[in-house]
Structure 1
Amino acid sequence: MAESENNQRLHLYPRERLQTVAVVASMVGGAQGFFSGVKMSSLRYLTENAHRLPRTVGGWYFYHKKKNYIMLLSGFKNAATLAVKYSLGVSAFLGLEAGLDYARNSTDFFNTTVVGAVFSYAYGSLKHMTRVQKWNYVKKGSLLALCYGLAQDAMIYSRGGHVWYTKYAASTNNLQL
């Protein structure tokens, strides 16, 4: 697919887009995982040791020393887990989107919407949601993907790229009633 750079999503070719977004998603997932892991392990440590809180200054020192060690360890474990999950999820989404772009030989919002619907259905099935919950999840995921796809198309169009449906929208200005 030898299209100009103006016609690419996020102004990047698919390979660079996947690499860049995978790294950014893993950084965001790592940060979120670290902070949530630290917070949860801090609360867990307090509840596990509430019945035997220290009574001396030295006891409090070692209590907090061990608590900080456990918090950091849990934070890094959770950070690694969420970084991998986010990176794989976002890479799979954008990879399937790029695959549909290549298969249809068209870069537009339709591919993004289809991928959003597929991924929201797959996530709902993976989490064993009921049929109603899954349907609501698919509707919301498709709507978000539609908005994301239209935003990408607007960016492509603003850079002077080709978006197939803009020529139809431009030709409706000549309608006479």
Structure 2
Amino acid sequence: TQHGPGSPDAIHITLPAEYYRLPLGMVVGGSVLGMFRGGRRESWRFLAENAHRAPTTMQGWYFYQKTKNYRVMLGALKGGGADGLRLGLTGLGWVGFEELMRRTGLDDVREIGAGVGTASVFAGIYRLPWRAARQAMLLGLITGTTLRILRYSVESTRERAKQAEAAE
């Protein structure tokens, strides 16, 4: 038998684009933000740890700056990785909640459910006090509702365009 992409016994997994767009976008955004934050944090830490021993020679000054730059780069990479992973997992959770809402027949409000569900998981993981958890869920509700309104407007615009095209 023939094995390859065109053979009848080949296994194909097709993922809708929304399953990987949001988490990957959040990984990239989180990595960029984390690199800025991690680099700045490491820069301040290095300055605080070495304030009592400032370099006195030109060679010492260059070595100090070189060491600081390497530490800042390492801190930026660590911060970028941590924040990228954290936001990527949050995006994956959002997509998971959307799919859960879709499979339970609540497709019309999947963004709202994903927003509130993600905020609830976030509040549970970080053990937020009740007031902060309520605020997080309210923010998730607002975000989900905004995305639902945007999806409705895109769908209605596409439908009107199809009707106008069919009328011509």
Asked if TM exceeds 0.5, the reply is yes
Which residue is equivalent to 1:122? 121
Pick aligned residue for 1:158 from 147, 153, 159: 153
Quickly say closer, same or farther: Cα 1:124–1:106, change in 2 above 3 A. closer
SS of 1:107's partner is helix
Pick aligned residue for 1:141 from 131, 136, 140: 136
SS of 1:82's partner is helix
1-structure distance, mates of 2:37, 2:138: 28
Greater than 6 Å deviation, 4+ residue runs: none
Structure 2 length as normaliser, TM-score? Answer: 0.74
Task: Report how many aligned residue pairs link the two structures.
Answer: 142
SS of 1:156's partner is helix
1:116: how far off?
3.0
Verify the 8 A CA contact 1:117 1:142 in the aligned structure 2: yes
Q: Which residue identity lines up with residue 154 of structure 2 in the other structure?
A: R
Q: Which residue identity lines up with residue 128 of structure 1 in the other structure?
A: R
Superposed counterparts of 1:10-89, under 5 Å: 15-89=16-90
CA RMSD of aligned residues (A): 2.0
Quickly say closer, same or farther: Cα 1:124–1:80, change in 2 above 3 A. same
1:100: how far off?
0.9
Which shifted more, 30-39 or 139-148?
139-148
Give ranges in structure 1 of 5+ residues lacking alignment: 1-13, 162-177
RCO (CA 8 Å, sep 6+): is it higher in 1 or 2?
1
Verify the 8 A CA contact 2:115 2:140 in the aligned structure 1: yes
Quickly say closer, same or farther: Cα 1:116–1:149, change in 2 above 3 A. closer
1:160: how far off?
4.0
2-structure distance, mates of 1:125, 1:150: 22
Q: Which residue identity lines up with residue 28 of structure 1 in the other structure?
A: G
Q: Which residue identity lines up with residue 55 of structure 2 in the other structure?
A: P
Structure 1 length as normaliser, TM-score? Answer: 0.70
% identity of equivalent residues: 25
Which residue is equivalent to 2:160? none
